[in-house]
Chain A
Amino acid sequence: MAFKTPKNILLGTVLVVTSISGMAFAAGGGVHGDYKMKHPDWSFKGATGTYDRAAAQRGYQVYREVCAACHSLKYVAFRHLGDKGAPFYLEDYPNPSDNPYVKNFAADWQVADIDSETGDEIERPGIPADYFPDPFPNEPAARASNGGALPPDLSSMVKARGNGADYLYNLLVSYDVPKPADVELTPGLHWNPVMEGHKIAMASPLSDDLVSYEPVEIIDHGKSKIVDAPPATVEQMASDVTQFLAWTADPKLEQRKSIGLMTIIYLLILSILLFLSYKRVWRDVKH
């Protein structure tokens, strides 16, 4: 029966691979025929990919100054910005609530609260434990300010679309693609070849030099490093904010990949040892 084993393994592999490719079979997406999707080489892709800290920090700035006017980030707290694997993590501050970046950013936002003395509704500067405040008090208010459309929450946006990072980037950079003559737009809608249905309520949010980038400081292999500010082109800002939102969608990515590597190495060694044990236990047994 021994000769059957490689055949069976082969058959099994074929089955597994077919099933998996079947499972991963995804509908092609709704990109307009003439538009060619760009596929930037994201730093966080691949088995060992990590977030580009400098880009994600600039991306935070883009979110803060541009997106946050309409889009909430309601599942992300300021303290998350200083967690391990986050854009503003500092080794000296294992507790993100002590992280000076986090404290400053939090204080930069106004958070709705109740005055504990008087019970009045007040606004106070944020603290690290606060979540990113919603730009609108409620859904009707959000719709009223946006021509009836509801700006979606961005916390998990990169996971909430197929191939989300590419989707988001292409959506942001494709506003200048000319509209085909036969497409009619109702007022309040804009042509965008990447958006499902190619019509989007959001006007082009980015334009060159919309934000003024400053050099950012990152920790590279334990050493502080200053990364010069790149020109704030639409592509650059789109790429940076995608880095930031990729992190908000998957904040444990780096932890996940490093634990994964160790786990798989462990399992491979275990498999080899078990295979050798199997061979030894069965050495005198014909089967």
Chain B
Amino acid sequence: MSGPSTYEPKYAAAKWMDKRLPIIRMGADFMTFPSPRNLNYWYTFGGILALCLVVQILSGVILAMHYVADVDKAFASVQRIRRDVPFGWLLQSMHAVGASMFFLAVYMHMFRGLYYGSYKAPREVIWILGCAIYLVMMATAFLGYTLPWGQMSFWGATVITGFFGAVPVVGESLQEWLLGGYSVDNATLNRFFALHYLLPFVLAGLVGLHVWALHHVGQNNPIGISEKTKEDTLAFHPFYTVKDAFAIAAFLVIFAIFLFYLPDALGHADNYIEADPLKTPAHIVPEWYFLPFYAILRAVPDKLAGILLMLGAIIVLFILPWLDTHKVRSMRFRPIARWFFIFFIFFCFVLGWCGAGTPDDIAVPFGKNSGITFYRVSQIATVYYFAYFLVILPVLGLIEKPLKRPDSITKAVLGDGKHGETLAPAE
């Protein structure tokens, strides 16, 4: 943790423990952790995400007590959970809706990091760990979506595992090895269940490292200027515990609206039909949180190229700290980058929209029966997605002139000069 520990054990038992395993000290330092005083609500998603992980693990562990991983019984066992297990309907919906909420929060968290430059030195490792968390989350969500053994579960799993078959030379053997057979079947379902149970704990470990790194280098903040004096910071507790708690409660209201009133709005109706390997659904679409990547996958005619592009879209996030070379972190002071960032978000939504559409359908109509297809729109958006990371940010790093920045967080908060005298001198 950054800075010397200020914890003083008061009781004999606490002193005894502190000499042997300073776990109380760790907790105390966590609570007194100096955080920038200007963090806004975008910075509450970290706490929200921690809660999401806990909700998913707790509901998931209980669901696993009732779920049967067998191709002949999986669908029926989920029906039994929804119909007969006491509050099973609640747990099952909470887990399914919770996955969507988890992704909603993680996207907010990532956009915040992108906007305020939270990936820049010295926070590269926090960012990379975050990207790893996102990758494991995606894997976990995909594996979990297979388990109810509905039509979309089965065909989604078939399509995604099919990607591995496109790998040159070893593709087919790799796919067979992953599936445990020639197609998605009982062996696949069982290994997916085992891995779906395992990965959340990997996720928890990565989150631990993510938070550790964060506490080592300190938090970024909306103006992206490092903490310089004590006045720049506030103790995590009570200032940010109460702010996070409020944000979490507000987030839970949105969660509850979906959970209780729109439990199926984010899912696909076809998943209420039991998996049938002989009947392909008319449109195989992934869950909403994968749609942008699905659009990138389908933006090129070649399967392997599509897969490489899709992987690239995630890999590019990992190397972002070295692509954006601009010295200024926060886009508040980067008048040009800011606009490109807004377009970037816009195109992420466009990609999601294209992912939900059928490539050959008209997305933007011009007159009758003509216009731009989803295929073309997704190509434009894909080009922008990659250009943002590989061209725009590196070039702006060289040429963009930042706006004038305040000298410190305190000055940004209290105004320049007016209150300067009243401040305690820097340490």
Pick from B42, B234, B249, B265: contact of A8, CB under 8 Å: B42
Q: Are B242 and A22 in contact (CB under 8 A)?
A: no
Assess A278 versus B246: contact at CB under 8 Å? Given A5-B41, A8-B42, A260-B256.
yes
Q: Are A252 and B89 in contact (CB under 8 A)?
A: yes
Q: Are B245 and A274 in contact (CB under 8 A)?
A: yes
Docked Cα-Cα span, A30 to B270, in Å, equals 14
Q: Is B175 an interface residue (CB 8 A)?
A: no
Q: Are B413 and A286 in contact (CB under 8 A)?
A: yes
Interface of A is mostly: helix
Assess A281 versus B242: contact at CB under 8 Å? Given A159-B269, A267-B253.
yes
Cβ distance A240 to chain B, nearest Cβ, rounded Å: 22
Q: Is A93 an interface residue (CB 8 A)?
A: no
Assess A159 versus B41: contact at CB under 8 Å? Given A22-B353, A23-B288.
no
Assess A271 versus B272: contact at CB under 8 Å? Given A15-B108, A18-B349.
no
Docked Cα-Cα span, A143 to B316, in Å, equals 52
Assess A257 versus B256: contact at CB under 8 Å? Given A5-B41, A281-B239.
no
Using CB atoms, name the residue of chain A closest to B80: A75
Interface of B is mostly: helix
Cβ distance B27 to chain A, nearest Cβ, rounded Å: 20
Q: Mark A245-287, 1 if CB is under 8 A from B, else 0.
A: 0000101100111011101100110110011011001100111
Pick from B83, B238, B269: contact of A80, CB under 8 Å: B83
Pick from A18, A30, A159: contact of B264, CB under 8 Å: A159
Cβ distance A74 to chain B, nearest Cβ, rounded Å: 8
Q: Is B159 an interface residue (CB 8 A)?
A: no
17 inter-chain pairs at a CB distance below 8 angstroms, sorted by A residue, are A8-B41, A19-B349, A22-B356, A24-B262, A160-B269, A256-B89, A257-B260, A260-B256, A264-B253, A264-B257, A271-B246, A271-B249, A271-B253, A281-B238, A282-B242, A285-B234, A285-B239
The 8 closest A-B pairs by CB, nearest first: A260-B260, A160-B272, A23-B288, A274-B246, A271-B249, A252-B89, A75-B79, A159-B272
Name 15 extra pairs, CB < 8 A, besides A30-B282, A160-B272, A256-B89. A1-B40, A15-B345, A24-B262, A27-B283, A162-B269, A249-B272, A252-B82, A252-B83, A256-B93, A260-B260, A260-B261, A274-B245, A274-B246, A282-B242, A287-B37
Task: Mark A residues whose CB is within 8 Å of B.
Answer: 1, 4-5, 8-9, 12, 15-16, 18-19, 22-25, 27, 30, 47, 75-76, 80, 152-153, 155-156, 159-162, 164, 196, 249, 251-252, 255-257, 259-261, 263-264, 267-268, 270-271, 274-275, 277-278, 281-282, 285-287
